[in-house]
Structure 1
Amino acid sequence: MPNISSAFHTEIHWRSLALLNVFRLLSNIGIFCSVLWLAYKPLNDMSSWYSFLALAGVDSCLALLFALGIWRRWPGFEIQLSIQVATDVLFIVGLMHLFGGLHSGIGTLLLPYLAAAGLISRGRMTLFHAAMASIALLSEQTWQIWQDNANVSDYLPPALLCVASFAVAWLAHRLARFAQASEALAEQRGVDLANLGQLNQRILQDVSDGVLVVDADGIVRQCNEQAIRLAGMRPEGVLLHAMPVIAVALARWRANPSDNPSLITTALTRKTLRPRFISLSHDSHGNVLIYLEDLDKLGREAQQLKLAALGRLTANLAHEIRNPLSAITHAAQLLGEEAEDNALMQRLTRIIDDNSQRLERMVKDVLELNRRDRVQMTQIKLADWLAVFVEQFSMQEEIHVELALECPSNAEARFDPGHLHQVMWNLSRNGWRYCQKNAGSLSFNVWRENEHWVLDVRNDGPPVAVDAQTQLFEPFFTTDTKGTGLGLYIAREICAANGAVLEYVSSPGPDPCFRIVFGYAYGQRSVI
């Protein structure tokens, strides 16, 4: 930072020196035109006129050389400034001598040069420059007295001009110090403002809510990445065109700021949002800060907390239930062996055994809730893996018809094999339970969607009711009286742990379909 600041100040100094050089050239032109307009009247004879032309020409040539030195940045700034001030002092004093001395009034031209030099150098060397001007003025007055053109008593005017030179130099010194302090303060304020802007931008991007700033004309002035994600697009330009539902809610709030804004649903992402409007001006018709709170995310977080507590509770209960359940199952088996000739006893023991098996499956599913984070992902060739799975599933479920399987030979997915087997077994068993049990009633189809492989498990049974589709993956929700309601929920959680998405597809076609999209983070896709 210091080097950059120093380079910045030096560049300003060089530009100021260039402006002083331009002022020098313009002053020479003005003085030359003034003398020409007066038709040499201020000069005594032609020799003085020729001397004036020579003096003005030399000073103009030096000004051009100074311009070249400023452009080349050589010699150094302080040296160039001192040389230029010395040149100006000699030029002004030379003009004084040609035009009759101090009473010509030309000596006062030294003051703006000294002031400019003091401001350019930020107060440094100003007294030295005033001393040079004073020595030149007193030397010229001494020469006039030596030539009998003035008296010793005439030293008062040049002495007063010398005092004025030092006063102007001191004033320039003070102004330069003040300007330097103000410049340093402004630079520090600029750095603080830049840091504050970066901090605000960082906070704006890291906040969990979507944030928009809309002006009085409905133009989006600023938004964060969360707002872009919630809207499904970048809200730019007019808010009414980018996000109409939010624009309508904003207009309603501006009409009556006391009313609480209603919930809105975005068209692209189909997310439920709760907007909050905060006026940034004295009234609600100026700039407005809009917060967009994702209620779906809050619902998921609340559900995760609820399920975490429920999981701990049910895991403890499952361990406590398993031991007496095993004893009940074993006792039922012994009782069934003793009651081989009693039909009623066999039916009762079968009821005990069926419900014991149901409780065993429920305990097993509950324990699986706490094991979904144990993932050992490997690269799976889906064609080979599905062929083996379909064969095992057909043998285990005693299926004697052909199950349809279509899978490209190059299809691969990164998944835990044990987890994939558990998910596919659950989906396949559900599909076979509700299908028509014919050849091809249960089918497996692998295809590619953009950069991701997709696995569809489809059956020709009745579709899931529309009102039940929203609760399909909820824990403990089931339409089967013998089901636990945890199978689909565990399957979706396992897919999420393996970087995949499990969703129910209700269209196109009448056949219900459960779809696994490999390689997606949880929550990136919406249920179709």
Structure 2
Amino acid sequence: MSPATPFIPDTYWRSLAVFNLFRVTVAIGTMLAGFVVSDRLFAYQEERDLYYTLTSVYLALTILHSITVRFRRPNFRIQLTFHMASDIGFIVGLMHISGGLKTGIGLMLLPYLAVGGLISRGRTTLFHAALASIALLLQQSYHFFIQDGGSGDFPQAAMLSIACFAVAWLAHRLSSYATESEQLAEKRGIDLANMSQVNQLVLQDVSDGVIVIDDQGTIRQSNQQAERLFGPGILAGKTLLVEYAPTLALAVAYWRAGAVVEATQPVASTDSRLAARPRFVPIRTARAEGGVVIFLEDMERVRREAQQLKLAALGRLTANIAHEIRNPLGAIGHAAQLLAEETTDPTSRRLVEIITSNTRRLNHMVQEVLELNRRDRVQPVEIRLKDWLDQFVAEFRDVENIQTTVPLNCPESVVVRFDTGHLHQVLWNLCRNAWRHGRKQEDSLRLTVCRYYDVWALEVADDGPGVSPELERQLFEPFFTTEAQGTGLGLYIAREICAANHAVLEYVPPPAGGAVFRVTFDFNS
């Protein structure tokens, strides 16, 4: 389509095709009627022959119009004009053969003009009415000057011409209203689509899980956080809440019955480590009510946020204390070294070694506490994870002196945003723990990158004994450790670093045994 050719919607062409199908039906019906009643309508054979010729030509034209409409060549306006011209010629010719205006056949022009005006949206309707009027006046002029010798029905022709223009003008107005309504509906549809998209974005961005149900208990909308709490499998408009989350459906039933205490109790999710506290908001509209918006507050997230508030003040305090401890701790370590050089007594040397060992351990703990204040110094960059992990695994095997292979499964196209130094620190801590607690055999340490809902996740797995269920909640708490020489800050710092990079670090107990730590990237970005 050239730039000068106006765009014609498909609805215009479909309307023209349906109108042309009507023409074909009229042409066939008129021809069949001629075979049945032509002897009573026409007294002369010449009139009957002219009638058959006219209907045959009109039928051929309608078939030709069907072909041109099918291929949409030439353009819409030219085709519609030719269609209307053939209709006017056929009706006026039929009227002329049958005896003129007194037969009433000329009134058939009015519905044709009306439909043509509605199809063209009024742009050429008055032109079609002018063609019909000219054809009527020419037919009457022929009767007046040639055929009947001065007996024409010009007043009736003038009245029918006025009626043609009136119908054309009415079709023009109706088509204008239809066009305005169509444009308004299209604009409202665009606004509605935009509002729906904004609503979906807001729904997915909120930290709480959201489930919208109707009065029948069918889930109409949900977000990713809700599926994270209660598992995937929601089909909007098809999934029933009682089948998807029976405990949550029971809480809704309590709420509708007025049992506030039972309705607001935390609801267990599919993951035994997670629980959600529901909050219900009724949906009331002018037409109906009964729908409910269910907000699901992740109790684990609430617990973490409360812990963060407590630890924020504690972190500032411990950082100041660590700064104050570091200098005297260095002096104690230096003094122990001097004592070790001067003493020869075995007992004294053993005591000096105890001082040195514990000084080194305290210094390591102070260093990790100071690292907590550096979590906000984030410089995220785009990392091609496959290449970065290949280099990391090679470095880790060299430093830790690992002779076995470390399987790495990562798609080539994965790109994440993370501070490279932070990612190195987090992953080194996770891999070192996995190797230390694993069996130190082939595939004891495994790294896997996979899709987790709509984001990428990196999983570090080992084949060790795993973490007992009673210790899972304390796993990321500061200063919690099961090792005699551990500080209990490694996993806590790793989780804080991940949070600073808009990621989530969590422990996933695998059903086959061992332990899996998952880093979910761009979780809140």
Q: TM-score, normalised by structure 2?
A: 0.73
Q: Is the 8 A contact 2:434 2:460 kept in 1?
A: no
Q: Is the 8 A contact 1:378 1:417 kept in 2?
A: no
| Equivalent residues in 2 for 1:403-482, closer than 5 Å | 409-411=404-406, 447-448=444-445, 451=448, 454-455=461-462, 470-471=473-474, 473-476=476-479
Q: Is the 8 A contact 2:229 2:270 kept in 1?
A: no
Match for 1:291: what amino acid? F
What corresponds to 1:263 in structure 2? 266
What corresponds to 1:274 in structure 2? 277
Distance (whole Å) between structure 2 residues aligned to residue 192 and residue 315 of structure 1: 53
Q: Secondary structure at the match of 2:393?
A: strand
Deviation string 1:370-392 (CA, Å, 9 cap, x unpaired) is 46789999335767655x6xxxx
How many residue pairs get aligned? The number is 475
Distance (whole Å) between structure 1 residues aligned to residue 322 and residue 245 of structure 2: 49
Q: Please report how far the alpha carbon of residue 29 of structure 1 lies from its aligned counterpart in structure 2 after TM superposition.
A: 3.3
Q: Please report how far the alpha carbon of residue 25 of structure 1 lies from its aligned counterpart in structure 2 after TM superposition.
A: 2.1
Distance (whole Å) between structure 2 residues aligned to residue 112 and residue 508 of structure 1: 78
What corresponds to 2:249 in structure 1? 247
Q: Is the 8 A contact 2:368 2:489 kept in 1?
A: no
Distance (whole Å) between structure 2 residues aligned to residue 474 and residue 13 of structure 1: 68
Does the C-alpha gap of structure 1 residues 162 and 382 become closer, same or farther in structure 2, counting only changes over 3 Å? closer
Q: Please report how far the alpha carbon of residue 152 of structure 1 lies from its aligned counterpart in structure 2 after TM superposition.
A: 5.8
Match for 2:282: what amino acid? S
Q: Secondary structure at the match of 2:477?
A: coil
Distance (whole Å) between structure 2 residues aligned to residue 351 and residue 23 of structure 1: 105
Distance (whole Å) between structure 2 residues aligned to residue 57 and residue 508 of structure 1: 82
What corresponds to 2:153 in structure 1? 154
Match for 2:89: what amino acid? L
What corresponds to 2:196 in structure 1? 197
Does the C-alpha gap of structure 1 residues 56 and 263 become closer, same or farther in structure 2, counting only changes over 3 Å? same
Does the C-alpha gap of structure 1 residues 56 and 160 become closer, same or farther in structure 2, counting only changes over 3 Å? same
Deviation string 1:482-505 (CA, Å, 9 cap, x unpaired) is x99x82233443477589979699
Deviation string 1:391-448 (CA, Å, 9 cap, x unpaired) is xxxxxxxxxxxxxxxx7711278985899589969998xx9xxxxxxxxxx9766725
User: Do residues 315 (structure 1) and 319 (structure 2) align?
Assistant: yes
Distance (whole Å) between structure 2 residues aligned to residue 83 and residue 248 of structure 1: 68
What corresponds to 2:71 in structure 1? 72
Q: Secondary structure at the match of 1:270?
A: coil
Match for 2:519: what amino acid? A
Does the C-alpha gap of structure 1 residues 382 and 84 become closer, same or farther in structure 2, counting only changes over 3 Å? closer
Match for 1:254: what amino acid? R
| Equivalent residues in 2 for 1:97-496, closer than 5 Å | 97-147=96-146, 149=148, 151=150, 154-236=153-235, 237-256=239-258, 258-259=260-261, 260-268=263-271, 270-281=273-284, 286-323=290-327, 363=366, 366-370=369-373, 378-380=392-394, 385-386=399-400, 409-411=404-406, 447-448=444-445, 451=448, 454-455=461-462, 470-471=473-474, 473-476=476-479, 487-494=487-494
What corresponds to 2:412 in structure 1? none
Distance (whole Å) between structure 2 residues aligned to residue 504 and residue 70 of structure 1: 64
Does the C-alpha gap of structure 1 residues 422 and 313 become closer, same or farther in structure 2, counting only changes over 3 Å? farther
Distance (whole Å) between structure 2 residues aligned to residue 37 and residue 210 of structure 1: 75
Q: Please report how far the alpha carbon of residue 206 of structure 1 lies from its aligned counterpart in structure 2 after TM superposition.
A: 1.8
Distance (whole Å) between structure 1 residues aligned to residue 121 and residue 230 of structure 2: 55
Q: Secondary structure at the match of 1:488?
A: coil
Return 5+ residue gaps in structure 2 as ranges. 340-351, 380-387, 409-419, 449-458
Does the C-alpha gap of structure 1 residues 278 and 408 become closer, same or farther in structure 2, counting only changes over 3 Å? farther
Distance (whole Å) between structure 1 residues aligned to residue 214 and residue 61 of structure 2: 57
Higher mean C-alpha displacement, 235-244 vs 121-130: 235-244
Deviation string 1:96-155 (CA, Å, 9 cap, x unpaired) is 121111111111111111112222221122222212211111121122222463756732
Higher mean C-alpha displacement, 278-287 vs 50-59: 278-287
Match for 1:246: what amino acid? L
Q: Please report how far the alpha carbon of residue 242 of structure 1 lies from its aligned counterpart in structure 2 after TM superposition.
A: 2.0
Q: Is the 8 A contact 1:280 1:289 kept in 2?
A: yes
Q: Please report how far the alpha carbon of residue 271 of structure 1 lies from its aligned counterpart in structure 2 after TM superposition.
A: 0.6
Deviation string 1:433-484 (CA, Å, 9 cap, x unpaired) is xxxxxxxxx976672568466446779xxx99x867644653356899xx99
What corresponds to 2:345 in structure 1? none
Q: Please report how far the alpha carbon of residue 164 of structure 1 lies from its aligned counterpart in structure 2 after TM superposition.
A: 0.8
Structure showing greater radius of gyration is 1
Distance (whole Å) between structure 1 residues aligned to residue 108 and residue 288 of structure 2: 59
Q: Secondary structure at the match of 1:292?
A: strand
Q: Is the 8 A contact 2:477 2:492 kept in 1?
A: no
Does the C-alpha gap of structure 1 residues 159 and 150 become closer, same or farther in structure 2, counting only changes over 3 Å? farther
Q: Secondary structure at the match of 1:267?
A: coil
Q: Please report how far the alpha carbon of residue 157 of structure 1 lies from its aligned counterpart in structure 2 after TM superposition.
A: 0.9
Q: Is the 8 A contact 2:117 2:172 kept in 1?
A: yes
User: Do residues 27 (structure 1) and 26 (structure 2) align?
Assistant: yes
Does the C-alpha gap of structure 1 residues 319 and 179 become closer, same or farther in structure 2, counting only changes over 3 Å? same
Q: Secondary structure at the match of 2:281?
A: strand
Distance (whole Å) between structure 1 residues aligned to residue 373 and residue 247 of structure 2: 41
Does the C-alpha gap of structure 1 residues 81 and 378 become closer, same or farther in structure 2, counting only changes over 3 Å? closer
Q: Please report how far the alpha carbon of residue 274 of structure 1 lies from its aligned counterpart in structure 2 after TM superposition.
A: 1.0
Q: Secondary structure at the match of 1:235?
A: coil
Does the C-alpha gap of structure 1 residues 173 and 233 become closer, same or farther in structure 2, counting only changes over 3 Å? closer
Q: What is the root-mean-square deviation in Å for CA atoms of aligned residues?
A: 4.9
Match for 1:489: what amino acid? L
Distance (whole Å) between structure 2 residues aligned to residue 330 and residue 36 of structure 1: 124
Deviation string 1:139-180 (CA, Å, 9 cap, x unpaired) is 211222224637567321111111111111111121222222
Does the C-alpha gap of structure 1 residues 189 and 280 become closer, same or farther in structure 2, counting only changes over 3 Å? same
Match for 1:31: what amino acid? T
Does the C-alpha gap of structure 1 residues 263 and 216 become closer, same or farther in structure 2, counting only changes over 3 Å? same
Q: Please report how far the alpha carbon of residue 191 of structure 1 lies from its aligned counterpart in structure 2 after TM superposition.
A: 1.5
